[in-house]
Structure formats: C-alpha cells, structure tokens
Amino acid sequence: MEERRLTRQDAAYVARLARIELTEEELDRYADQLATVLAHAAEIAALDTDGVVPTAHPLPLRNVTRPDEPRPSLDRDEVLSEAPAVEDRRFRVPRILGDVP
Amino acid sequence: MTRGAPALEIARKVRDGSVSAAEVVEESLAAIDAVDPEVHAFLIVLHDDARSAAADIDRAVAAGEDPGPLAGVPVAVKDNLCTRGVPTTCSSRILEGWRPPYDATVVERLRAAGAIVMGKTNLDEFAMGSSTENSAFGPTRNPHDLTRVPGGSSGGSAAAVAAGLVPLALGSDTGGSIRQPAALCGVVGMKPTYGTVSRYGLIAFASSLDQVGPLTTTVTDSAALFDAIGGQDLRDSTCLERPAPRSVSVLSDGVEGLRVGVLAELVDDVDPAVAGRVREAAEALAAAGAVVEECSVPELRHGLPAYYLLAPAEASSNLARYDGVRYGLRVEADTVEAMNAATRAAGFGAEVKRRIMLGTYALSAGYYDAYYGQAQKVRTLIVEALESAYRRFDALLGATTPTTAFAIGAKIDDPWAMYLSDVCTVPSNLAGHPAISVPFGADDDGLPVGVQVLAPALGEPVLFRVAAVLEDAAPVAAPPKVHAR
C-alpha cells in the first residue's frame, strides 16, 4: 500500500464521525500523526493473508446465560446523581429532533 | 515493622495477631504522605476508608474469624477500576469527580481476601500511553530517578510498589500496561491469560485485549494476588468457566526439564544493556536445569502495527459512551450532536483524541478491509506462530521493554516513538496469553531492567515457576532513590 497523505478535510471527516470538535490546528496535527501511524500499518498491508481467518477475540466466544430471575439493579437515584442533567428522574439531553430553536 | 515487607509476610502477621492491620495501614499512609508528593503515584488516598477497613480486619482476627489470605495488606488500585462512591477518573477530565455506583469485581475480591484499598493510582488517560505522562492530572515520576517516566499506563501502580508505599497494586494490561511500567520501575508485573480475571468494572479501552493483573515486589506475591482476583464472574461473559489456574502452590517446583525458548525478536531488537540481561537470565534458567534454546517467531515483528490499528479501533467504539449524557463532563450546546462533540473536545486529552481518530479511520467505509480487517488477519498469524512455538517450548523468554526508563518529555511529541515502547509486550495481548516481567539487574545508569516470560493460554503455573527461578538468580540492583524506608 502506498503511503497515504491525509488532508485536513480527511481529518475533519473522521472527527465528525468520532463526534470530537477539533480546531484547524488540531486537524492538521492529527492528519500528520495519523499518516505516520498508517505508514507503519503499511508494513502489514503487504503480507499475504489470503485465506487467513480474522481474529476478533482471543477466546471462542459463546453466549453466557443465567436463570431469568428478577434481581436488584443499580440504584436509580445513585446513578442519576452522577448525571450532568436530570429531569423527572430521567437523563436530560438537548433537543434531538426538529430544527434548532 | 512491616514496611517494605512482602504481602504474604504481612498477612501472616496480621492473621496470627502479631501485628494489627491498623498498624500496617498507618505505616502505609505515613509512607504515602511522606513520599508521594515527589512521586505522584496516587490520584486519591483513602485515609478514612483504609483505617475503617483495617479496624474490621482487626475485629475479625480478635473474634477468631478468618480475615482472608491477604488480611491487612495495603493495596493500590489503578484508577480505571471502579470503586463504589470513590472517584474513578481514568486520569481524564471527562470523568473527573465521577463516583461509580458499583465496585469492580476485582476490587470486591480484594476486599473479600482481606486486603485494604489505600487509594487510586495515576495512569495514562484511559490507559492509553507508555509513560503516565498522558494523565490529565500530571505525570507520575520513577522512584529510581525522578526525572524519568515510570512507564505506563499503570505507572502509578508500579511506582507505588517500587517506592515501598504498598506491597501490592492492581493494574490493567492492554498492550503491556502492567509489564512495561513494572520493568521500568523494577517490580514484578503480570498479565494473566485473557478470561481468567473479570473485567467487570474495569473501564474498557480495548475489550479483546484488556486484562487486570498484579504489580508486586515479589513473584510469590504476584501469584497470591492473581489467585485472589482470578476466577469466573457471571457479570463478565468473557470470563472462562473453568477456575483460573492456582499458582502459589507451584512456586518452588523449579524449572528442571522445562523447555524455554529465547525469542530472537525480543532480544536482537532491544538496547544492548537490556539484551545482555536477557541472555544472563537465559543462562540462569539453563543453570537451574531448564532446556534453553534460541528460537525465532518472525511474525512477532508484525505485532506493533497490528496492535496500533486494533486497539484504537476498539477504543473508538468503547469511548463512544462518553457523550455527556449519563455521567461525567457535559459542555452545553444547542443540539445533542454539538453537545457530544464539544464535551468530547473538552474532556479528552491529546492521546485519547489521537487514538479515537485513528480507530475511527481504520473502521471507516473504504478503509475497513485494508486496515482493521488486515490487522485482524495478522493477529491470527501471530497467534498461530506463537502456538506453533509452544509445541516446542513450555515458555518463552525475552525483554519486557526495548529500553530502560526514559526521560519525562523525551517521547511525548512523537507518538510512534512512544508506541515502540510496547513492541515486546503486545504479542501476548493479541494472543490472549499470560506473560510476566521480573526485575533482572540494572543498566549502566542503575536503572532497572525487566525480563519477560511468556507462556501459552492458562500457562500461569509454568510462568510463575520460571519467574521464581529468575527472581532468585537476579543480579542485585540498587534500591530506588525515593523509597519509604
């Protein structure tokens, strides 16, 4: 794989996907630093992995179940006491649907 | 006096009543208060909670009850492990002040074993780093040389043990975060087999790689702490059903007849001073009766680039939960998305943002197969190559780190130079295998060198047997300059 140059626009697109607001200066710096790490990734891009099964996890994962019996969960007020904003014993968030007022 | 004593010696005295848990805890608190302003191993010290827990242990002893195998032993807990009602920050502004509503399973098990939680230790933010400089609350300093890093990300836990503030500490190891700081601080650090220790309450970084493990002054204590925290937990579905291998009982079995391979990739590519110590360690194992041979697993050289795609990819997903809604920091904005983005901009430090960006890129449309997919296949190649090596060897030997402790600030502006600190440790995480770093002498500057023993999945008994022999054979190294004597 060729060494890839990342532009400020590339970095801005990734930052949007990751929901992180970055300054122009940060976008330029991360574009450069990501390109450096990705250049090292090129070392493995050249390997022949045809027919190799990808490993997502070191263990053979399987479902673990327990009897479906009611039991106490986390205390609601204790959980909500750590939230940034609460209303009517629920998490409060800014407007999600519709136009910004 | 119990200061500086191994954990099991302290527990024995507390259990037989010759020393009270209260005395042990007061000594540890005094040491922390005297020394930690220089080292900055701790983010919070739990004076009152520790005294109260010690009183409970002393009451149990007086009443003739079993106070547990680690009765009265002070332990420090990395601050990415949840402690109910006690701030748990991951060294991040985004969780500053957050008090978890539950204890991590490993913390529950420590308390059940009679250990006393003294405080929470510093780390690289969200365990991302190799120097503890990425903490939002300032770096930890190496007790052997205060101008140098303690390693990371469990740098606070390693420094706390090295400085004699506590005999036991918990860390977490995603790519070397227990073993690398243990090597740089001159203590024993062990990463267990994936699935032997519960991750419930360990704040996730890269879930297929993360594992909690012990940092201690002795190999015996390492095995004892592993035995105390290991075993199935129904709250972590990746925990193995079978019991974790018991390890303390095999420590004196020696290495007679064990086949040990010296990994060329973990010797040839490291600093000469470190490589020299690994060769001495190999000679010591041969002298103790092990069958020692050189070996090569060339696939290990692909470990670092694969790791630095896989771990950031998993991190970018895991850290999506810091959205300013349920806990931690919120920066207000008009819409949810703007609030999310502003909160994450203000709450995350530079390295965490870098890893999230990298992981998001590696997972994004058009690049997934080339980066993430390819790295997963390379992970398979590494696992298969190690499994093949373990058909010839019971354990493998190499360096833990390519260098000894480096200066604070030396690598902070060069991410790849910092990432290279993990080159010897990431393969065990990719494979889910156990590995341990044992102090083995020093370099010319008197800085500690760690040698690493690697074993196949559930090979902890072999790992600890080899480590115990290395501990006995290790050249005497200078004690840390800063120590609670």
How far off is chain A from B1, nearest CA to CA, in Å?
41
Contact: B238, A59; criterion CB under 8 Å: yes
pTM as predicted = 0.97
- Cβ of B104 under 8 Å from any chain A Cβ? no
Tell me the average pLDDT across B46-63. Answer: 98
How far off is chain B from A70, nearest CA to CA, in Å?
15
Q: Which positions 251-310 of B are in contact with A (Cβ < 8 Å)?
A: 302, 304-306, 308-309
Contact: A21, B102; criterion CB under 8 Å: no
Rounded mean pLDDT of chain B?
A: 96
- Cβ of B407 under 8 Å from any chain A Cβ? no
Contact: A43, B305; criterion CB under 8 Å: yes
Q: Does domain A8-45 have CATH number 1.10.20?
A: yes
Reply yes or no on whether B153 is catalytic.
yes
From the candidates B28, B91, B131, B153, which is the catalytic residue? B153
pLDDT of residue A63: 83
- Cβ of B15 under 8 Å from any chain A Cβ? no
- d(Cα B140, Cα B152) in Å, to the nearest integer? 9
Closest CA to B51 of B40, B59, B39, B41: B59
Reply yes or no on whether B177 is catalytic.
yes
Q: What is the dihedral of CA B302, B389, B248, B219, to 10 degrees?
A: -50
Tell me the average pLDDT across A7-20. Answer: 96
Contact: B344, A20; criterion CB under 8 Å: yes
Provide the pLDDT confidence category of residue B53 given band limits of 50, 70 and 90.
very high
Question: Phi then psi for B78, rounded to 5 degrees?
Answer: -55, 140
Query: Residue ranges of the alpha helices (H) in chain A?
Result: 8-17, 24-45, 76-80
- Taking CB atoms and an 8 Å cutoff, what residues of chain B touch A35? none
| pLDDT(B245) > 80 | no
pLDDT of residue A1: 43
* Residue ranges covered by each domain of chain A: 8-45
Q: Give residue-wise pLDDT tens across range A63-80.
A: 888 889 999 999 999 999
Q: Give residue-wise pLDDT tens across range B362-378.
A: 999 899 999 999 999 99
- d(Cα B173, Cα B213) in Å, to the nearest integer? 7
Q: What is the DSSP letter of B372?
A: I
Return the residue of B nearest to A13 by Cα: B361
Q: Give residue-wise pLDDT tens across range B86-135.
A: 999 999 999 998 999 999 999 999 999 999 999 999 999 999 999 999 99
Q: What is the DSSP letter of B202?
A: B
On whether the CB atoms of residues B157 and B121 are closer than 8 A, the answer is yes
Contact: A45, B327; criterion CB under 8 Å: no
Residue with tokens 């969960």: A73
- Taking CB atoms and an 8 Å cutoff, what residues of chain A touch B102? 74
Q: Give residue-wise pLDDT tens across range A85-95.
A: 999 999 999 98
Contact: B332, A43; criterion CB under 8 Å: no
Q: Which positions 183-222 of B are in contact with A (Cβ < 8 Å)?
A: 194-195, 208
pLDDT of residue A98: 67
Q: Tokens for B236?
A: 């972590």
Q: Give residue-wise pLDDT tens across range B285-332.
A: 999 999 999 999 999 999 999 999 999 999 999 999 999 999 999 999
The most distant pair of C-alpha atoms in chain B lies apart, rounded to whole Å, by 70
What residues have CB less than 8 Å from B418, skipping those under 6 apart? Answer: B129, B130, B131, B411, B412
Reply yes or no on whether B131 is catalytic.
no
Q: Give residue-wise pLDDT tens across range A29-72.
A: 999 999 999 999 888 999 999 999 999 998 887 788 888 999 99
How far off is chain B from A2, nearest CA to CA, in Å?
12
pLDDT of residue B5: 83
For chain B, domains (ranges, CATH) are 7-298+384-473 (3.90.1300.10), 300-383 (no CATH)
Q: What is the share, in percent, of chain B residues with pLDDT greater than 90?
A: 94
Provide the pLDDT confidence category of residue A99 given band limits of 50, 70 and 90.
low
ipTM of the shown complex: 0.93
Please count the helices (runs of H) and the strands (runs of E) in chain B. Answer: 15, 11
Contact: A20, B356; criterion CB under 8 Å: yes
Closest CA to B95 of B140, B126, B128, B129: B126
- d(Cα A44, Cα B406) in Å, to the nearest integer? 28
